[in-house]
Amino acid sequence: MLTTERHQLILALLKEQGTIKLQDLVEQLQASESTIRRDLVQLEEMKALKRVHGGAALLKQKGIEPSLNEKRYANHLEKQQIGRLAASYIDNDDCVYLDAGTTVFEMIPFIKEKNVTVLTNGLMHIPLLMEADIKTFLVGGKLKVATNAIVGSQAVQFLSDYRFDKCFLGMNGIHPDYGLTTPDPDEALLKMRAIQLSNKSYVLADSSKLYETTFAKVAAIEEATIITDVNDEEAVLSLQKHSNVKVVTP
Amino acid sequence: MLTTERHQLILALLKEQGTIKLQDLVEQLQASESTIRRDLVQLEEMKALKRVHGGAALLKQKGIEPSLNEKRYANHLEKQQIGRLAASYIDNDDCVYLDAGTTVFEMIPFIKEKNVTVLTNGLMHIPLLMEADIKTFLVGGKLKVATNAIVGSQAVQFLSDYRFDKCFLGMNGIHPDYGLTTPDPDEALLKMRAIQLSNKSYVLADSSKLYETTFAKVAAIEEATIITDVNDEEAVLSLQKHSNVKVVTP
DNA sequence: AAAAATTCAATCAAAATCATTCAAAATCAT
DNA sequence: ATGATTTTGAATGATTTTGATTGAATTTTT
């Protein structure tokens, strides 16, 4: 195996798992311990990873990919289906805003229309957007480490210079009375502004978020189309009295 | 087989696989090792691929860390020393601009002062900045895939709302007559604006960039302190007549 | 706190790959 | 047909990478 290939594999495995043992690398790459040690030394020099006793770990990259716990989350399939349906609402030549949600992340590989322009505040989306050859703009502002998202007043102001055909937002609470809510006030401001600037707004949320409420109000429930999965038919029917709800099924 | 045919086949195989061994090419093209080596040398000269030990790789592979796309971590040790000296110019509470240069990347781990705020347009810097717990803002604008940098008029405008104690810039050409230059006009505009908005400007460049000129003018040479390594003592002395030059030695 | 186990870096020989050189073969121009 | 030029493949010495070994360092266990 070429050295370059080994390095790429090492980083791919590391991205999956967050940390990895040297012995695991020896087995999976079918190379000697000495070779893997040299590889890790070189990758550390290039600041692509950091060495720990017995192996290697990713640099602190919270949220670069959906958190490892969340990636293993039972709702992953549902999120993919929500993502697929969401992407189907995008047309050729659309300008869309994608916020930093994990379900929004799932929709990116399904975006197949031509000449789509994306503005996003989610750094975790960048590799997929590049992979999909989608023309991408990034919101400017403060980096929020916990979610690898761009937030803050500068971000809101940056956003205000644009308009979108559609926006796609993650949300943590969707309630007929309390509206659309999210835990973080900074992100709530951005989501609110994105809705104001878009012709159509979509909220992507799995059913666990329905009839939940979190800290910061984003908008009234009527202001966005909810894309969710089936959980409780009655609950969805009840929600539909207040909002346009699109449901995916497994 | 005609040389041209072989070249096309080599590139086709490479597009499929991302990397390929020289021995595989010998087998698949039914040509000698010497011939294939010459082919790879020529294709590299044409910048159609890059050679790695034992074979070849695509120049830019989607999803691969930008820092891994260099054949060897070119001038790595020198860049680290330049980076270390550059970081030593940062004081507590400084607001600094870091552009998307590879030598600028090297300085991040050496930033130890307290309460430093960084604004950057280089996405490759994000993991290191997070690792170093540095308060980070990101420029807003268009994503330039080739360098993983934010560029464009929006980026220049975003920058214009800030001021910096210091800025640290990569540069490809440093010449007493033609000034500071870089290949890409979009990036040149950003660098120019950064210099205008900073109390002190530093250019980080290894000696291979001295007395070189590239396409787009950024500023006159007097407008920044050059941080470089020793290459030719006379050349450095001559440069010092025009600009403040700081030299690192191995 | 000490011993045992595990992991680490350094070193070195072997293997693999590299660039250079040169003669032979193939192609081109006259 | 012939001489000139280009391309090819083999040989050789130089360089790089790999894997094994060993003593040192670190972590785990008692």
Successive 10-residue mean pLDDT values, chain A, 250 residues: 92 89 94 95 88 89 45 67 94 96 92 96 92 94 91 94 95 91 92 96 90 92 91 82 84
- Interface residues from chain A to B (CB-CB < 8 Å): 2-5, 7-8, 11, 42, 45-48, 50, 59-62, 64, 123, 126-127, 129-131, 135-143, 145, 148, 150, 152, 154-155, 158, 161
Is B129 in Cβ contact with A143 (below 8 Å)? yes
Interface test with chain A among B137, B160, B161, by most A beta carbons within 10 Å: B137
A126 and A14 share one domain: no
A235 and A116 share one domain: yes
B144 and B195 share one domain: yes
Are the beta carbons of A219 and A195 closer than 8 angstroms? yes
B143 and B94 share one domain: yes
Domain limits for position A74: 68-248
In a domain, A63, yes or no: no
- The CA distance from A248 to A228, in Å, is 6
Bases of chain C with protein Cβ within 7 A:
6-11, 16-21
Tell me the pLDDT tens digit for each residue of B96-154. Answer: 999 999 889 999 999 999 999 999 999 989 988 988 899 999 999 999 988 889 999 99
In a domain, B170, yes or no: yes
| Number of domains, chain A | 2
CATH number at residue B171: 3.40.50.1360
**Does residue A54 reach within 7 angstroms of strand C, measured from its CB?**
yes
Is B143 in Cβ contact with A62 (below 8 Å)? no
**Does residue B52 reach within 7 angstroms of strand D, measured from its CB?**
no
Sheet holding B141-144, edge to edge: A245-248, A225-229, A198-204, A164-170, A95-98, A117-120, A135-138, B141-144, B149-151
Chain A to chain B Cβ contacts (< 8 Å): 118
Interface confidence (ipTM) of the complex: 0.82
- What the block records as the tokens of A139 is 């919101």
In angstroms, the first-to-last Cα distance of chain B is 49
CATH number at residue A20: 1.10.10.10
A183 and A78 share one domain: yes
A26 and A95 share one domain: no
Which of B 33-52 have CB under 7 A of nucleic chain C?
Answer: 34, 37, 41, 51-52
In a domain, A113, yes or no: yes
A84 and A204 share one domain: yes
Tell me the pLDDT tens digit for each residue of B175-233. Answer: 999 999 999 999 999 999 999 999 999 999 988 888 889 999 999 999 999 999 877 78
B193 and B82 share one domain: yes
Three-class DSSP category at B86 = helix
In a domain, A169, yes or no: yes
In a domain, A111, yes or no: yes
B88 and B134 share one domain: yes
Q: What is the pLDDT at residue B68?
A: 59
A53 and A72 share one domain: no
B99 and B50 share one domain: no
Contacts of A200 (CB under 8 A, 6+ apart): A89, A165, A166, A167, A225
